[in-house]
């Protein structure tokens, strides 16, 4: 019996030596910075103003010579994807790091918190990460909510006049909270866009 256990142990060790190593792809770093004169300037607050170039730098760590597919999506504060890009990257010899840079064009977007969703795929594994930033656009984001009021009159007798006073305050807080949808039924734009 000890010979069978030794043979089984030898077979397991031999099999483990032929098993390929797992590839651990990772998004090592995401930076959203100011871009001044073609130079990245750190912006730890992640607050950007209208007309200001927003520079993105992403570092991907690829442990083996594998082709990589990289995706980036700019997500609106209400949920829909505004812009999406993807790129296929050639394998690096023996693996290494890809440093991807881009300048985001946010002109015409309303003010609010945006999310940049990043994903990379290589060797059958997929990693995802995201970063949130605040953009001070020229136009503030406004949600228009339609509120329906129901008036019930109960009792006996004649009703000659009914005066109903409904709240007309633009800052009224709705009890049920407004239902927001990532696909609004309409988009209203003023003269500034």
Residue 178 domain-assigned? no
pLDDT value at 58 more than 60:
yes
**Looking at the 3D structure of the chain, how many domains does it have?**
1
User: Which CATH number does the domain housing residue 77 bear?
Assistant: 2.70.50.60
State residue 38's pLDDT score.
Answer: 82
State residue 164's pLDDT score.
Answer: 76
Residue 90 domain-assigned? yes
Residue that the structure tokens 């442990």 belong to: 63
State residue 20's pLDDT score.
Answer: 47
State residue 13's pLDDT score.
Answer: 47
- In the chain, the percentage of residues whose pLDDT exceeds 70 is 69
Residue 143 domain-assigned? no
Continuous segment of H or E residues that includes residue 60: strand 54-62
State residue 70's pLDDT score.
Answer: 93
Residue 48 domain-assigned? yes
Residue 102 domain-assigned? yes
Q: Which of 147, 150, 176 is nearest to 164 (CA)?
A: 150
Q: Which of 144, 148, 147 is nearest to 186 (CA)?
A: 144
State residue 124's pLDDT score.
Answer: 87
Q: Output 193 or 163, whichever has higher pLDDT.
A: 163
Rounded to an integer, what distance in angstroms lies between the CA atom of residue 99 and that of residue 57?
A: 7
Rounded to an integer, what distance in angstroms lies between the CA atom of residue 120 and that of residue 68?
A: 7
pLDDT value at 110 more than 90:
no
Residue 119 domain-assigned? yes
Residue 15 domain-assigned? no
State residue 37's pLDDT score.
Answer: 84
Q: What is the mean pLDDT of residues 85-111?
A: 87
Residue 75 structural domain: 21-136
Residue 35 domain-assigned? yes
């Amino acid at each position: 019996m000890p010979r069978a256990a030794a043979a089984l142990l030898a077979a397991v060790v031999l099999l483990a030596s032929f098993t390929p190593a797992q590839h651990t792809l990772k998004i090592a770093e995401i930076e959203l910075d100011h871009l001044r004169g073609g130079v990245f300037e750190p912006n730890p607050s992640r607050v950007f103003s209208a007309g200001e170039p927003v520079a993105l730098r992403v570092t991907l760590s690829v442990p083996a010579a594998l082709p990589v597919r990289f995706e980036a999506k700019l997500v609106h504060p209400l949920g829909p994807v505004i812009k999406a890009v993807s790129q296929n990257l050639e394998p690096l010899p023996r693996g290494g790091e890809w440093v991807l840079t881009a300048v985001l064009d946010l002109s015409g977007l309303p003010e609010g918190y945006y999310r940049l969703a990043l994903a990379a795929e290589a060797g059958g594994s997929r990693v995802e990460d995201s970063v949130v930033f605040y953009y001070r656009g020229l136009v503030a984001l406004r949600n228009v909510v339609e509120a329906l009021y129901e008036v019930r009159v109960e009792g006996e007798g004649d009703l000659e006049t009914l005066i109903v006073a409904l709240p007309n305050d633009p800052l009224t807080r709705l009890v049920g909270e407004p239902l927001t949808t990532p696909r609004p039924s309409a988009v209203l734009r003023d003269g500034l866009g």
